[in-house]
Structures are given as structure tokens and as C-alpha cells.
């Protein structure tokens, strides 16, 4: 049944990701097209608790599809773990007539959405994170832009690394997940790829690999280190001392979260934003939008949060095979 609800809200939460604006734009325009009112909640659950709520019309989202970040702002809101604040959030939604809420973020943000759903607000989650670490979906908004940004930065580091015949340890984001590191490892042709899911902390194996590669005549040695392992600077010091090869560490950091979204992110975000509103209008609640096996689908939030996602074994095996030469 269409249009049971009259007013929906949208917020972005957790770390921002390129493409969030395209998702917000799609939510707003799909909802307006169905005759709904749309409220934008600023700065995630913080903004909800502070009643930082604005009306969104079509012009508000003009000229945003190509912009990184999120026009609504985002935040982490530790209080929202607390039931008292979740109840306050639900009351504020009701006060503003928000019957359906679209939450763009990661698993943490979906847990907040589930809490609101349990308190009577229909909620739909959209996966937005550069980390690709949401188990129910093969794709998360922001990943493609971030991995391309990181790849281009690593290409540049490789130029100078080769000129100086150095070893470079480059740390990429991903929180406790290694997807960004794996993709950069393959795309940048790294000699070593350290993933939190796989790394056995055998630094001697890396040292042996560097010494072996020098004997083979390699001028650079690129190590992609995932943020979940970290400690790149101290690792560089130890590796230089053990190998005699000058070693530098670069932590790419927040530059990976910015920039204009790629085509893939804009299209995925636009599709997911529209689907979220379609689901709310069908009377669906407590769902997460996902891209699975080439299709846009939706899952129950509880099921989605209980799923597990591992590093794809074949992709990892290929990455290892290609580092050996
Ligand atoms: P992400 O959404 O990217 O996983 P976080 O884990 O930082 O990012 O979560 C974003 C926000 O979602 C938190 O700051 C908090 O406001 C809310 N949140 C996280 N976990 C929960 C939870 N278990 N219950 C309610 N709200 C939560
Ligand atoms: O979840 C996105 C992410 O960029 C992670 O890769 C990283 O661990 C974290 O957010 C950094 O968060 P903050 O912006 O709070 O430093």
C-alpha cells in the first residue's frame, strides 16, 4: 500500500562518506515525488536530540550530487546507546511529525535506527561508509571514491619510493576491517598487504621479503598496512633497522573520506536513497537497503546486524600470489 506516511526524516551518522549527498538528494526527491514532506536532521543523532531539524525541499539538495561530505553534517553521539536518549529521540521525531526515518551510516547507526523502530518510528538504513564493513551488503556508499583516492595517493608515494629505493609503509583506513587495504594492495601492486583479519604479526616474514626483493633488483617495497593493525611508524623504524633499507611510513588518514564521489558512488547512493523511500511508502519498517549479488534488496535490521562478512578468500589468495614477484 502506498503513502501511509506523510512526513519522513533523513539523517547521516557516523563517519561521513562521499556519496552521502547523492543519497540525501535521492531521498528528498523521491519523497517529494510521492507527495511527502521531508525533514533533514542535522549532525546525526546529536542533531535529533538537540532538535536540529530543517525542512528539505528540492532546491536544498540542488548542486549536491557531486559534492563529498554530507550537507546534513554527521556526528558520533555516544548518548544514543542509552535507552533514555533513544526515547527522547523517538519523542522528538513524533513531535516533528516524522513517521519514517532514513538513516545513512554504518552498523552503529543502524543499531540506533533499530532502537527508534522499537519505539514506534519506521526506520530504513542506507549503508554509507568508506570501510565496506557492513555484512549484509556487497557495497557501501563511499567505498569506491575512498579506494580510488587512496590508490592515487599510493601511486604518488610509489614514485618517490622508487626514486629513493625505499620501503614505504602506507596505512589506509577501514577501522577494524581490511577491505580498503586489500583493494589498495591489489590495485597498487603492493609487495606486502597487512589486513587485520589475516595478519599474523610475523614481522620477520616482511623483513625477509624486503631482503629477497632487493636481491631480485626491486627498487621499491610498498607495504599496505590497514588501520586496524596500525603502528606504521614504529614498524617502519624496526624494518629499517633490520633490513638497512630506508623506510618511511605514511598514514593517509582523513583525505580518504573526502572528495567528489565517483560515478559508482553517485549511482549506488541515488538508487539506495530512492529504494529507502519506496520501502517506507510500502509500510516497511526496520529494514536496511543493500546491494547483493548485483541487485538492490533489503534486509531486516536484526538479520543485517547479525550477518558476518569476511575478506573474500579468492581475492585474498590472488593478492598474495601477485606479491611474490
Ligand atoms: P557507524 O554508523 O559508521 O558504524 P558508529 O559505530 O560510530 O558509526 O555509530 C554512529 C552512531 O550511531 C553512534 O555515535 C551512536 O550515536 C549510534 N549508535 C552506535 N551504536 C549504537 C547502539 N548500539 N545503539 C544505539 N545507537 C548506536
Ligand atoms: O568509518 C569510517 C572511518 O573513516 C574509519 O575508516 C576510521 O577508523 C574512522 O572512521 C575514523 O573516525 P574519525 O573521523 O572519528 O577519526
pLDDT digit string (tens) for 252-302?
999 999 999 999 999 999 999 999 999 999 999 999 999 999 999 999 999
Q: How far apart are CA 170 and CA 190, in angstroms?
A: 10
Percentage of residues in the chain with pLDDT exceeding 90?
Answer: 98
Q: How confident is the model at residue 4 (pLDDT cuts 50, 70, 90)?
A: confident
Q: Which ligand is nearest to the CA of 87?
A: 1
- Inter-residue contact 107 to 305 (CB < 8 Å): yes
Whole-number pLDDT of residue 3? 52
User: Which residue in the list 131, 133, 144, 298 is annotated as catalytic?
Assistant: 131
Q: Kindly list the protein residues whose Cβ atom lies closer than 6 A to any atom of ligand 2.
A: 15, 129-131, 173-175, 227, 257
Q: Is 106 in the pocket of ligand 1 (CB under 6 A)?
A: yes
All three cell numbers of 7: 512526513
Cβ-based neighbours of 45, under 8 Å, separated by 6 or more: 11, 13, 75, 77, 79, 80, 85, 89, 109, 112
Find residue 53's DSSP bridge partners. Answer: 41
Q: What are phi and psi of 158, to 5 degrees?
A: -65, -40
Which cell goes with 82? 542509552
**CATH architecture of structural domain 145-257:** 3-Layer(aba) Sandwich (3.40)
Tell me how crowded residue 159 is: count the other CB atoms within 10 A of its CB.
Answer: 10
Best substitution site from 112, 121, 179, 286 to test ligand 1's pocket, by max atoms within 8 Å of Cβ? 112
Q: How many angstroms separate the alpha carbon of residue 15 from the centre of ligand 2?
A: 6
Count the Cβ atoms, other than its own, within 10 Å of residue 78: 10
Q: How far is the CA of 147 from the centre of ligand 2 (A)?
A: 14
Q: Is pLDDT of 249 > 80?
A: yes
Question: Which pLDDT tens digit goes with each residue over 59-113?
Answer: 999 999 999 999 999 999 999 999 999 999 999 999 999 999 999 999 999 999 9
**For residue 202, what is its C-alpha cell?**
610475523
How do the domains of the chain map onto residue ranges?
7-142+261-306, 145-257
pTM above 0.95, yes or no: yes
pLDDT at 2 over 60: no
* Spacing, Cα 113 to ligand 1 middle (Å): 9
* For residue 305, pLDDT beyond 90: yes
pLDDT at 188 over 60: yes
Q: What is the DSSP letter of 15?
A: S
CATH 3.40.50.450 for domain 7-142+261-306: yes
Contacts of 47 (CB under 8 A, 6+ apart): 11, 41, 53, 72, 73, 75
133 is catalytic: no
Could you check whether 7-142+261-306 and 145-257 share the same CATH topology?
Answer: yes
Beta-carbon contacts of 205 under 8 Å, excluding residues fewer than 6 positions away, are none
Amino acid at each position: 500500500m502506498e503513502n501511509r506516511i506523510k512526513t519522513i526524516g533523513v539523517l547521516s551518522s557516523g563517519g561521513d562518506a562521499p556519496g552521502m549527498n547523492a543519497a540525501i538528494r535521492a531521498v528528498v526527491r523521491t519523497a517529494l515525488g510521492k507527495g511527502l514532506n521531508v525533514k533533514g536532521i542535522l549532525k546525526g543523532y546529536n542533531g535529533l536530540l538537540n532538535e536540529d531539524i530543517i525542512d528539505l525541499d528540492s532546491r536544498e539538495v540542488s548542486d549536491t550530487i557531486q559534492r563529498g561530505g554530507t550537507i546534513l553534517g554527521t556526528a558520533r553521539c555516544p548518548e544514543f546507546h542509552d535507552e533514555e536518549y533513544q526515547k527522547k529521540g523517538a519523542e522528538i521525531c513524533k513531535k516533528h511529525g516524522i513517521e519514517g526515518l532514513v538513516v545513512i551510516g554504518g552498523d552503529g547507526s543502524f543499531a540506533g535506527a533499530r532502537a527508534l523502530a522499537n519505539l514506534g518510528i519506521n526506520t530504513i538504513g542506507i549503508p554509507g561508509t568508506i570501510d565496506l564493513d557492513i555484512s549484509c551488503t556487497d557495497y557501501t556508499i563511499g567505498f569506491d571514491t575512498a579506494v580510488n583516492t587512496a590508490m592515487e595517493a599510493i601511486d604518488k608515494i610509489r614514485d618517490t619510493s622508487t626514486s629513493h629505493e625505499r620501503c614505504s609503509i602506507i596505512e589506509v583506513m577501514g577501522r577494524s576491517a581490511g577491505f580498503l587495504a586489500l583493494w589498495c594492495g591489489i590495485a597498487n601492486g603492493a609487495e606486502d598487504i597487512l589486513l587485520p583479519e589475516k595478519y599474523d604479526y610475523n614481522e620477520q616474514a616482511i623483513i625477509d621479503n624486503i631482503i629477497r626483493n632487493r636481491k631480485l633488483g626491486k627498487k621499491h617495497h610498498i607495504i599496505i598496512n590497514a588501520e586496524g593493525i596500525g603502528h606504521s611508524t614504529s614498524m617502519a623504524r624496526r624494518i629499517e633497522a633490520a633490513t638497512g633499507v630506508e623506510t618511511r611510513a605514511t598514514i593517509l588518514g582523513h583525505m580518504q573520506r573526502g572528495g567528489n564521489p565517483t560515478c559508482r558512488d553517485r549511482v549506488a547512493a541515488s538508487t539506495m536513497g530512492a529504494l529507502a523511500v519506496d520501502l517506507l511508502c510500502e509500510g516497511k519498517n526496520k529494514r536496511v537497503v543493500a546491494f547483493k549479488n548485483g541487485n538492490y534488496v533489503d534486509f531486516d535490521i536484526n538479520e543485517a546486524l547479525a550477518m558476518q562478512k569476511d575478506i573474500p578468500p579468492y581475492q585474498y589468495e590472488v593478492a598474495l600470489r601477485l606479491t611474490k614477484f
